[in-house]
Amino acid sequence: MRLIGLLYSPMVRRTAIALDVLSVPFTFEIMSMFRNFEQFAAINPLVKAPTLVTDDGTVLMDSGVIIDYARAVAPDPDVLKPRDPDLRLLDLRLDGLGLAAIEITLHLTYEVLLRPADKQHPPWRDRVRGQIVDVFHMLDRELEMHADRLLDGPLPLSAITIGVIGSTVTGLLARHATFGELSALSAFVERVEAIPSFRRFALNPSEGPLGDGRSLSTFIRLVSGGEGE
Ligand SMILES: N[C@@H](CCC(=O)N[C@@H](CS)C(=O)NCC(=O)O)C(=O)O
């Protein structure tokens, strides 16, 4: 199987780490949906990352769909899924919150980095700015209460989802006054990044979100209404 995308994309990294934890063999092909558009489009005309090409040539997209398929071919399909119903509920709730954090981050990235400043829609941008502050504070509060429960036993999927978005943004967010310390999220990131599957698919900040010189720190400045680079 071939997994295609950039590890800088949290949805892609979430998928790569999940497949690795599930012990599903795959090759990872680094491809940017912006820099390698034509090459990516030849595999998946919709250029959605992550994309998985299965051994029979089927093209799958969406991290949840790909992870679902990986479970079907994994030696143990129950890995990443807590058995205890209370822990499973917590896992699902936090996975949804982590996915929301990724989606909101993507909305804002597209709005402020891709759309020219004079074409941006301030009410939408302000709404997303509010959501991004809220979602990272919510994650931080949840982890203050539940980090040990998530990490003390077999790894649940939510720990991967939150870990990857946390790693992508916390270092930058924590430096910004709007976000404060985010200390529980930062401590969580440090713990998950020590897990072998996270290390095997390590974040490479030099990939950057767009690969054209505009960096995530620009994005963070724009989150709070500051000027871009
Ligand atoms: N729900 C999808 C979202 C995937 C997604 O938004 N991927 C982004 C990169 S992180 C992407 O492909 N953006 C380009 C586009 O939407 O055309 C998933 O979980 O995989």
For the cut 80, the answer to whether the pLDDT of residue 177 exceeds it is no
**Predicted pLDDT of residue 170:** 63
CB 128 within 8 A of CB 109: no
Q: How far is the CA of 103 from the centre of ligand 1 (A)?
A: 8
Among candidates 212, 104, 94, 83, which has minimal Cα distance to 168? 104
What is the Cα–Cα distance from 160 to 156, expressed in whole angstroms?
7
Q: Which atom of ligand 1 is nearest to the CA of 99?
A: 19
What is the Cα–Cα distance from 156 to 14, expressed in whole angstroms?
12
* Residue among 15, 17, 33 to mutate when testing ligand 1 (max atoms within 8 A of CB): 33
**Predicted pLDDT of residue 18:** 98
CA-nearest residue, atom 2 of ligand 1:
62
At 88-128, the pLDDT tens digits run 999 999 999 999 999 998 887 787 777 887 888 888 888 88
**Predicted pLDDT of residue 215:** 53
Share above pLDDT 90 across residues of the chain, in percent, rounded to a whole number: 60
Ligand 1 pocket list (CB less than 6 A): 9, 11, 33, 47-50, 62-64, 106
Q: At what angle do helices 122-151 and 157-173 cross, to 10 degrees?
A: 120
**Predicted pLDDT of residue 229:** 39
Q: Which atom of ligand 1 is nearest to the CA of 33?
A: 14
**Predicted pLDDT of residue 47:** 95
DSSP state of 121: -
CB 198 within 8 A of CB 192: yes
How large is the average pLDDT for residues 136-160?
A: 96
Q: Which atom of ligand 1 is nearest to the CA of 62?
A: 20
How large is the average pLDDT for residues 145-158?
A: 96
Q: At what angle do helices 85-109 and 10-21 cross, to 10 degrees?
A: 150
List alpha helices for 60-121, DSSP H: 63-73, 85-109
Instruction: Work out the pLDDT band at 67, boundaries 50, 70, 90.
Output: very high
Share above pLDDT 70 across residues of the chain, in percent, rounded to a whole number: 84
Range scoring the smallest mean pLDDT among 56-65, 82-91, 199-208: 199-208
Q: Measuring CA to CA, how many Å separate 108 from each of 11, 35, 37, 103, 127?
A: 15, 20, 21, 9, 10
CA-nearest residue, atom 16 of ligand 1:
48
Q: Which amino acid is at 143?
A: L
Instruction: Work out the pLDDT band at 228, boundaries 50, 70, 90.
Output: very low
| Mean pLDDT of the residues in the chain | 87
**Predicted pLDDT of residue 129:** 82
Q: How far is the CA of 203 from the centre of ligand 1 (A)?
A: 17
Q: How far is the CA of 50 from the centre of ligand 1 (A)?
A: 7
CA-nearest residue, atom 5 of ligand 1:
49
What is the Cα–Cα distance from 100 to 134, expressed in whole angstroms?
11
Tokens of 78: 């129950």
Q: How far is the CA of 76 from the centre of ligand 1 (A)?
A: 27
Q: Residue 157: which H helix or E strand, with range?
A: helix 157-173
**Predicted pLDDT of residue 102:** 92
**Predicted pLDDT of residue 100:** 97
Q: What is the pTM of this model?
A: 0.90
For the cut 90, the answer to whether the pLDDT of residue 58 exceeds it is yes
What is the Cα–Cα distance from 18 to 63, expressed in whole angstroms?
9
**Predicted pLDDT of residue 216:** 54
**Predicted pLDDT of residue 223:** 59
Q: How far is the CA of 102 from the centre of ligand 1 (A)?
A: 10
Q: How far is the CA of 152 from the centre of ligand 1 (A)?
A: 30
